[in-house]
Amino acid sequence: MAKKTAILTGEASSPLLFRHVTPGPGDSTLQFRLIHLWDARKNVKGGPAIILGIELLMIDAEGTVAQGFIGQNRRNQYEKELQRGRIYTLTNFYASNSKVMYHVADQRLVICISHASDLSKFDDNIEGILTERFRIHSFSDFEANCDLRGDLHDVVGHLNLVEGQTLHQHPVLCTKDDLTSRKVMVHLQLKDGTVINVYLWDEAAENFRMKFDACAVTPTVLLVTTVNPKRLGGKLCLSSMSSSRVFLDEEVDPTKEYLTWLSTNSSATSSVNPVEVVKSETLTISEIAAFIKRQPAKIAYFDCIATIDDVKLGNNALSKMRQ
């Protein structure tokens, strides 16, 4: 694909901003920085996911973030030219408002690259176009949007536990067993003192492991983008998505700012509610049953991995299970 060189004249029109894009075909020129790209997948029950194409996260000169899409049938034409952080121009696109779930950008329209599109790298770096923009939300925001499958926002906080391990001694995550696991679970404490379980999956989990182990000093602050708030066992949790990225400590401005805040609010690290954050341990069903019967009553959450042998109607919640 040939590079595109901008020729500036007194009559040249400015690129169209994302907020001015309307549904349907467009022949104006868009100019943006590519922030991130990932595979668009459709999960199939009982089978491998179907790759639908490439999703793009883009930001324009005004700081508005939009989502783009390249169909699988055009992947080979564009994939090698896509580079995070580079600036591109795009003409002859199609703006679709058909995406109804999991919005990752301010602009509701998805900018699709069609057979008539011209996508080209812009030779010069434009410093006025931001390299990142985050949409960080609080615990109350996530709670209000729980299980709605709507906007996916970002979360930042400081680590309490990583895979059930404290941070007093730097945990090593990239063991042989860890590399085969799709998941990493961390306890993340937010500025308001709330501790929330964050589940990192697949590429987000792998990137977190690699970054965490590469740090000479144990990382403290974690930012995860585009997390999905959902309830597991009645408790609000955050789960990474295909679009999610992870950043630690000094990587980006929000983590740097959080580190600065943490250095002047050292009491925040000691304000953890021990009922909410405990080291994970394996329990038998009989031990869980004994806990449930204990007085006075306490609230606790369990992740149960078992084989169901039989299900019978009765008063007991667990009729027959084999570990």
Task: pLDDT band for 283, please (50, 70, 90 cuts).
Answer: low
Average pLDDT for the chain? 84
- Asked if residue 13 has pLDDT above 90, the reply is no
pLDDT at 248: 97
CA torsion 207-211-213-216 (nearest 10°) is: 180
**What is the pTM assigned to this prediction?**
0.79
- Asked if residue 103 has pLDDT above 70, the reply is yes
One-letter identity of residue 250: E
pLDDT at 254: 97
Give the CA diameter of the chain.
Answer: 81
pLDDT at 232: 86
One-letter identity of residue 310: D
pLDDT in tens, 2-11: 444 343 444 4
Instruction: Average the pLDDT over each of 7-11, 129-133, 195-199, 244-248 and give the range with the smallest value.
Output: 7-11
Give the strand pairing for 235-239 and 195-201: parallel
pLDDT at 281: 56
Q: How far is CA 232 from CA 43, 107, 197, 302, 317, in A?
A: 20, 30, 10, 10, 17
Task: pLDDT band for 31, please (50, 70, 90 cuts).
Answer: very high
pLDDT in tens, 106-137: 888 999 999 999 999 998 888 889 999 999 99
Between the ranges 68-77, 162-171, 303-312, where is the mean pLDDT highest?
A: 68-77
Q: What is the DSSP string of 297-313?
A: ----------EE-----
Evaluate whether 118 touches 51 at the Cβ level (below 8 Å): no
Task: pLDDT band for 75, please (50, 70, 90 cuts).
Answer: very high
Q: What is the DSSP string of 39-108?
A: EEEEEETTEEEEEEEEEEEEE-TT--EEEEEEEGGGHHHHGGG--TT-EEEEEEEEEE----S-B-SS--
- Asked if residue 169 has pLDDT above 80, the reply is no
Task: pLDDT band for 296, please (50, 70, 90 cuts).
Answer: low
- Asked if residue 322 has pLDDT above 60, the reply is no
User: What's the mean pLDDT in 66-90?
Assistant: 95
How far apart are the C-alpha atoms of 176 and 91, rounded to whole Å? 47
Which domains does the chain possess?
A: 18-121 (2.40.50.140), 139-270 (2.40.50.140), 282-323 (no CATH)
pLDDT at 294: 67
- Asked if residue 12 has pLDDT above 60, the reply is no
pLDDT at 166: 84
User: What's the mean pLDDT in 59-63?
Assistant: 96
CA torsion 61-62-65-69 (nearest 10°) is: -50
pLDDT at 228: 96
Instruction: Average the pLDDT over each of 46-60, 90-104, 245-259, 271-285 and give the range with the smallest value.
Output: 271-285
pLDDT at 10: 42
pLDDT at 171: 75
Q: Which residue has the higher pLDDT, 207 or 275?
A: 207
